[in-house]
Structure 1
Amino acid sequence: MNAATLAWRALRYKPLASGLNLMLVATGIAMMAFILSVSAQLEKHAECDAQGIDLVVGAKGSPLQLILSSVYHADIPTGNIPDTALAALAAQPLVKSAIPLALGDNFHGFRIVGTTTALLDHYAAHLARGALFTQPMQVVFGASAARETGATLGARFAGSHGLASGGELHEHAPYTVTGILLPTGTVLDRLILTPVASVWRVHETDPDDHPAAPAAALQRELTAVLVQYASPLAATSLPRWVNGQPLLQAAQPAFEAARLFNLLGVGIAVLRAIAAGVLLVAAMSLFVALYGALEERKWDLAILRTLGASPAKLLRLLLAQGLLLSLAGAALGWLLGHAGVGLLGLLESTQDLSLQAWRIAPDEAWLPVIAVAVGLLAAAIPALRAYRTDIAATLARP
């Protein structure tokens, strides 16, 4: 009978203690798997959403808020800017492209974004069916937005005021669905895109907003402009020029995203430390369990020696027990951790995160190594004591 079989039977002999140690190891590994997977996916999504956007120009206020609202669509805007800012930016020789954004309404919680087809080109979006918008009041749905709302080609709907569901309906200006996009894996999946003129028309013709003023007399506004540099020189001079304008603010996604993840990194580091603490407790509990089992089974181990078992076999037996518990705990913990990621992604308040339960982060490759180290360290001293078992002295004791 080999060491693995003996170790398995020894663990089954005390199912309660073995189960407790198994759950302790699994809890620590689950916490680590959850943290690593969520943080890696958030960083990947943030990188994809901001890729190719060098600068965001919007109303003065918090730069981080401007980035969150205009790039990640996860916050409210800092305000609006005159639509003339778009032409002024496009005229700058340091600007390669300038994509306008106009926010203000939603449909079942999904933001209706006034923009141009340049935004779809920027994210390399392709149609799953239908056609792109060609005139005001036509919309194209991102893949997630279409799936969650049940949007179909040719359907008509009214947007709700505000960026969260539950606002007043703009029934006087319904939209028509002309296209649905393929999944892009970016923020575009959860947006509803329409020409900027659609957003202006909805609010300029709303009798509650402007009961008497003619549309021509209204100041048209944008929420933000996404800018791509024409040369590296723009990184130093263009933000300075923008910030010098009385109504405009420049925010750099790369800088603000790094600042955000530095802030989040403190919390992630704390959670990792907690997970490491749980694993340390698991190692100590495993050590106590194996050491106690060794004391209880010294007579049995001595009998094994008299039957021909070598000291090395007893060493392997105790190490195998530690390894079996730690590896089983690692497998169970990995499953629980990723199940937790999937559950988090299903929560209504976090659906915008687009978390995938079984996406494996590169750092997760260390989890089995950590589990093996925990098992071996916990079993090391008991295993050495078993290796040094004195047959005569053990059997001579009453």
Structure 2
Amino acid sequence: MNILYLSCKSIIAKPLSSLLSWLLLTFGVTIVVLILLISDQLKNEITKNSTGIDLVIGAKGSPLQLILANVFHVDFPTGNIDLKEAAKVTKSRYIGSVIPMSLGDSYQNSRIVGTTRAYPELYGGELSTGEWFADHMQVVLGAEVAQKLSMKVGAQFQSQHGLSEDGEAHEAHPFVVVGILKPTNTVLDKLILTSIQSIWEVHGHEEDHENQPDSLITIDHLGVTVTFEQFDSEQITSMLVKYRSPMGAVMLPRTINAESSLQAASPAFETARLFNIIGVGVKILNLLGLLIIVISAVSVFIALLNSLKDRKYDIAIMRSMGATQMQIFNHILIEGLLITFVGGVSGLTIAHGMVYLLATSLDGVNPEAFYFLNEEWFVLLGCFIIGLFASVIPAVMAFKTDISKTLSKG
């Protein structure tokens, strides 16, 4: 007697109740797994994009906005800071290295970042073709930007003021593409990189240095070159700092925030605070998913119980034809486990599919939907336990079916 076949036939024989149980369990598992996958993806993105950055120094304002704008490039900058004051801060004994950033312009929604070669090196950026920016008004494109804009080495474009296509175009200062980066799966892929001096030139602050070579100043910590006249007027947006020693984490932020007009924010601290803010919503959604899974277990239990009442005569016939009590027990048990197993697998599949669709629809996000988290094994195990508990009482009742009484009642 093929018990698995009989269990499948029993599920098909009551399509509405089976479908309801399957939908409830699938929906609950989808919510739980979707939250797990998105949280893991978000943590991975934050980790790989903030690696090597201990502190961000910029204009006063929201520290979280400072991190989002200058590390993850998903918000507007808090403002600019004077180069003179920035250079003074870099002389601190707690600072190991500094990467200057100048933001504010874009091209077709892709952000232009004025910086030094140290910034792409932070993410392991390597050229796919062309060369690094060396002269003014030269840019290197991230892999995603180059693909999205269909631009190659030698192409020219005019940037827009601001971070949208509606900004005023800087027509007098076109950029030329001199290099394209290999994909790094980091924020670098969606940026346009150039020198800080090029950003200054676009905004009309660049001086003619040809007749005054002796007036140039190189700020070693920042990797930028300015004239005596510029030193008091030029600005940058932020500095990405790496500590020289762990003591820097204790002393430097407090010193900068208290004794200067600048603001220092820690990516680790601010992202942890962000997760705390959204953590309440995540917990609520997880509880909702778990509640739906429990409701689906009750649905499976009721469906099997009601089915058992209608199938007592059929079970008695099976017993009289040679089926053992254990076979009847397994028949009902497998029926419940099949519904919960299919629901669990369906929920996992839908959740991974949704993550893939979500990732491919967002700029700069690299979909990794088809990897399996360890937590998902616990979700599947939970589905198995739920199916077991929902099926065991109806299975025991079927096991104890009295053949003679059932057949006598007809």
TM-score norm. by structure 1 comes to 0.93
- Aligned counterparts, 1:287-298, within 5 A: 287-298=301-312
- Tell me which residue corresponds to 2:261: 247
Change (3 A) 1:236 1:104: same
2:205 touches 2:234 (CA, 8 Å); kept in 1? no
Structure 1 CA distance, aligned partners of 2:365 and 2:166? 21
- Aligned counterparts, 1:317-328, within 5 A: 317-328=331-342
Structure 1 stretch 83-92 or stretch 230-239: which is displaced more?
83-92
- Aligned counterparts, 1:26-45, within 5 A: 26-45=26-45
1:105 touches 1:111 (CA, 8 Å); kept in 2? yes
- Tell me which residue corresponds to 1:344: 358
Shift of 1:153: 1.3
What amino acid is aligned across from residue 279 of structure 1 in structure 2?
I
What amino acid is aligned across from residue 171 of structure 2 in structure 1?
E
Shift of 1:198: 1.2
- Tell me which residue corresponds to 1:223: 237
- Aligned counterparts, 1:190-229, within 5 A: 190-204=190-204, 219-229=233-243
Of all paired residues, the percent bearing the same amino acid is: 41
SS at match of 1:197: helix
Structure 1 stretch 118-127 or stretch 224-233: which is displaced more?
118-127
What amino acid is aligned across from residue 283 of structure 1 in structure 2?
A
State yes or no: 1:299 paired with 2:331: no
Shift of 1:84: 2.2
Which structure 2 segments of 5+ residues have no match?
Answer: 207-227
What amino acid is aligned across from residue 319 of structure 2 in structure 1?
R
- Tell me which residue corresponds to 2:57: 57
- Tell me which residue corresponds to 2:112: 112
2:77 touches 2:104 (CA, 8 Å); kept in 1? no
SS at match of 1:183: coil
What amino acid is aligned across from residue 281 of structure 1 in structure 2?
I
- Tell me which residue corresponds to 2:94: 94
1:86 touches 1:100 (CA, 8 Å); kept in 2? no
What amino acid is aligned across from residue 393 of structure 2 in structure 1?
I
Shift of 1:352: 4.0
Structure 2 CA distance, aligned partners of 1:198 and 1:362? 48
Structure 1 stretch 223-232 or stretch 300-309: which is displaced more?
300-309
Structure 2 CA distance, aligned partners of 1:43 and 1:194? 29
State yes or no: 1:377 paired with 2:385: no
CA RMSD after TM alignment: 1.8
Which structure 1 segments of 5+ residues have no match?
Answer: 207-214
What amino acid is aligned across from residue 284 of structure 1 in structure 2?
V
What amino acid is aligned across from residue 99 of structure 2 in structure 1?
I
- Tell me which residue corresponds to 2:212: none
Structure 1 CA distance, aligned partners of 2:284 and 2:247? 39
Shift of 1:343: 2.3
Cα deviation code 1:66-109 (max 9, x no counterpart): 11111111111111101224422332222111000100111121
Cα deviation code 1:245-265 (max 9, x no counterpart): 432011011111111111111
Structure 2 CA distance, aligned partners of 1:164 and 1:334? 38
What amino acid is aligned across from residue 12 of structure 1 in structure 2?
I
- Tell me which residue corresponds to 1:3: 3
Structure 2 CA distance, aligned partners of 1:146 and 1:364? 37
- Paired residue for 2:287, among 240, 264, 273? 273
- Tell me which residue corresponds to 1:180: 180
SS at match of 2:72: coil
1:95 touches 1:229 (CA, 8 Å); kept in 2? yes
- Tell me which residue corresponds to 2:137: 137
Structure 2 CA distance, aligned partners of 1:287 and 1:393? 25
Structure 2 CA distance, aligned partners of 1:182 and 1:10? 56
Shift of 1:351: 2.6
**Aligned pairs, number:** 388
Structure 1 stretch 295-304 or stretch 6-15: which is displaced more?
6-15
Shift of 1:7: 0.7
Query: Where do 4+ consecutive residues of structure 1 move more than 6 Å?
Result: none
- Tell me which residue corresponds to 1:212: none
2:110 touches 2:191 (CA, 8 Å); kept in 1? yes
Structure 1 CA distance, aligned partners of 2:275 and 2:142? 26
Change (3 A) 1:361 1:382: same
State yes or no: 1:123 paired with 2:135: no
Structure 1 CA distance, aligned partners of 2:140 and 2:376? 38
Shift of 1:216: 5.5
- Tell me which residue corresponds to 1:165: 165
Cα deviation code 1:7-35 (max 9, x no counterpart): 11111212232222222211111112211
- Tell me which residue corresponds to 1:209: none
- Aligned counterparts, 1:349-368, within 5 A: 350-368=362-380
- Paired residue for 1:261, among 275, 280, 297? 275
What amino acid is aligned across from residue 270 of structure 2 in structure 1?
E
2:62 touches 2:78 (CA, 8 Å); kept in 1? yes
Structure 1 CA distance, aligned partners of 2:259 and 2:177? 38
Structure 2 CA distance, aligned partners of 1:353 and 1:264? 20
Structure 2 CA distance, aligned partners of 1:322 and 1:377? 9
Structure 2 CA distance, aligned partners of 1:233 and 1:194? 33
1:318 touches 1:379 (CA, 8 Å); kept in 2? yes
What amino acid is aligned across from residue 376 of structure 2 in structure 1?
E
Shift of 1:205: 6.4
Shift of 1:290: 1.0
SS at match of 2:132: coil
- Tell me which residue corresponds to 1:150: 150
What amino acid is aligned across from residue 404 of structure 2 in structure 1?
A
- Paired residue for 2:330, among 284, 303, 316? 316
SS at match of 2:203: helix
